[in-house]
Amino acid sequence: LASKLPKVGTTIFTRMSQLAVETGALNLSQGFPDFDSPAPLREAVARHIAAGHNQYAPMTGLPALRQQVAAKVLALYGCNADADSEVTIVPGATEAIFCAVQALIHPGDEAIVLDPCYDSYEPSVELAGGRCVHVPLALPDFSIDWQRLADAITPRTRLIFINSPHNPSGALISRDDLDRLAVLIRDRNIHLISDEVYEHLVFDGVRHASVLAHEELYQRAFVVSSFGKTYHVTGWKTGYVVAPPALSAELRKIHQYVTFCGVTPLQYALADFMIEHPEHIAELPGFYQSKRDLFCDLLRGSRFTFNRAAGTYFQLADYSAIRPDLDDVAMAEWLTREHGVAAIPVSVFYQDAPRDLRLVRFCFAKREETLRQAAEKLRAV
C-alpha cells in the first residue's frame, strides 16, 4: 500500500500515555483531566439514554445545543451567529478541523501553520492534497513573528491556522494580533481556522480574544471549540464550529460524510447542563488558574525553569539546568521511566524545532493530590 501519510506514525499522546501506563508513572503527558466531570452532566447523559434519545442526532447538531452555543458566543463575544446556519455540533474539534480543511484546501494549495502547532493540522492538509508552510512562533514567548508570517504568504496560500490559547505553550493571541492578521489577509483569498478549544482557560483576569469577537476576521473563519475541555469530558469527543453560513454549508457537506452527526445523548446532556449551570464556564478560569498556581508554586523548588502559562491546562518547563545533554523526546522518556512523571516533548509540535529547545509540557488538569505527588517527584530530578 502506498501510504497517504508516509511521515506519520502514532501520535506522541498515544505513545506517552502508553509509556505512563507501562511504567506506572503519573501521567501529565496527554491532555485530559484525572477528575470527573460535574455529576449533573453525567446524570443527564444517563437520563437521556433512559429516555430513548439514542438514535441519530440531526446532522448539524441538536437544535437545543446549537441554540446554547449561539447564546454563549453572543454573550461572551458579541457574535450574533445564527444557531441554524452558523453553528454545527461535531464529534470533536479534531473532526471539525479535518472537515474545515477539506472544505478549504484544493490540491496544490498551501496552508500556513504557526509552529509549534497541534499535530492534526498538517495531516488534514496533506490528505486534502495541500501543503503546510511552517512559520515558527518567536521564542521565548511564542508570539507571532509578523514579518515571517507575511513572508510565508504566496498566491497559493488559502488558509492560516491560529490557536489561542495555544497548545503547547499556553500563550495567547491578543486583539491587536487579530487586527494585524485582518490587515494581512484583507485583500487576499485566505481563510482562517481558529482553534479555540481552550477558550475558557485564560488566566490572570485576561479576556480571551476570540475571532468570534472580530467581525472582519469572522467572515473568513471557522472557529472551533471543544466541550471536552470545557466540561472535563475529553472522552466524549464533542465540539462545535461557528462559521458564517456559506462556510458552514461547505463544512457540513463534508461532515455529513465523515461522521454524519455527533453522539445524541451527549448533545442532550450538554444542552441541559449549559442551561442549568451557566456558572460552570464563569468559574473555569479560576478553577484551572488555582491548579496552575499550585503546580508552579510546587515546581519552584525544582531545577526546572518556567513562565506561568497564560492559558490552557499545559505548563511548559525548561530543563536546561537538569539534563541539557538530552533532547526533549529523550528527556520526556527519561522523566517517565526514571522519575515517574510522564510529559510531552515540545519538538514534536514543530517541523524544524530549534536544536537547543529544552522544553517539556506538563498537563495540570489533575487533582491536587496528583499535582503534589508529581511536583515532589519533579523536585527530586
Cα–Cα distance list, 148 to 116, 118, 169, 179, 195 (Å): 14, 19, 19, 17, 21
Give the nearer residue to ligand PMP in terms of CB position, either 292 or 377: 292
Give the nearer residue to ligand PMP in terms of CB position, either 44 or 100: 100
Choose from ligand PMP, ligand GLN, none: what does 347 bind? Cβ within 5-8 Å by kind. none
Interface residues with ligand PMP (CB under 6 A)?
A: 31, 92-94, 118, 163, 167, 195, 197, 226, 228, 234, 237, 239
Give the nearer residue to ligand PMP in terms of CB position, either 196 or 328: 196
The edge-to-edge listing of strands for the beta sheet with 110-115 is: 87-90, 239-242, 221-226, 191-195, 157-163, 110-115, 131-136
The distance of closest approach from Cβ of residue 357 to ligand GLN in the complex, given in angstroms and rounded to an integer, is: 17
Choose from ligand PMP, ligand GLN, none: what does 30 bind? Cβ within 5-8 Å by kind. ligand GLN
Choose from ligand PMP, ligand GLN, none: what does 226 bind? Cβ within 5-8 Å by kind. ligand PMP
Give the nearer residue to ligand GLN in terms of CB position, either 16 or 79: 16
Q: CB of 285 within 8 A of CB of 229?
A: no
Q: CB of 285 within 8 A of CB of 81?
A: no
Closest CA to 292 of 349, 199, 375, 174: 375
Choose from ligand PMP, ligand GLN, none: what does 195 bind? Cβ within 5-8 Å by kind. ligand PMP
3-state secondary structure 313-354: CEEEEECCCCCCCCCHHHHHHHHHHHHCEECEECHHHCCCCC
Kindly report the number of other CB atoms within 10 A of residue 135's CB atom. 23
All cell numbers assigned to 13: 499522546
Exactly one of 15, 26, 30, 135 binds ligand GLN (CB under 6 A); which one? 30
Q: Residue of minimal CB distance from ligand PMP?
A: 92
The distance of closest approach from Cβ of residue 245 to ligand GLN in the complex, given in angstroms and rounded to an integer, is: 29
The distance of closest approach from Cβ of residue 134 to ligand PMP in the complex, given in angstroms and rounded to an integer, is: 16
How far apart (Å, rounded) are the C-alpha atoms in residues 381 and 375?
Answer: 10
Could you tell me which residues are beta bridge partners of residue 202?
311
The distance of closest approach from Cβ of residue 83 to ligand GLN in the complex, given in angstroms and rounded to an integer, is: 27
Give the nearer residue to ligand PMP in terms of CB position, either 83 or 117: 117
Over the window 159 to 198, marking each residue x when it contacts ligand GLN by CB under 6 A and - when it does not, the resulting string is --------x-------------------------------
How far apart (Å, rounded) are the C-alpha atoms in residues 139 and 156?
Answer: 28
Give the nearer residue to ligand PMP in terms of CB position, either 240 or 319: 240
Kindly report the number of other CB atoms within 10 A of residue 118's CB atom. 18
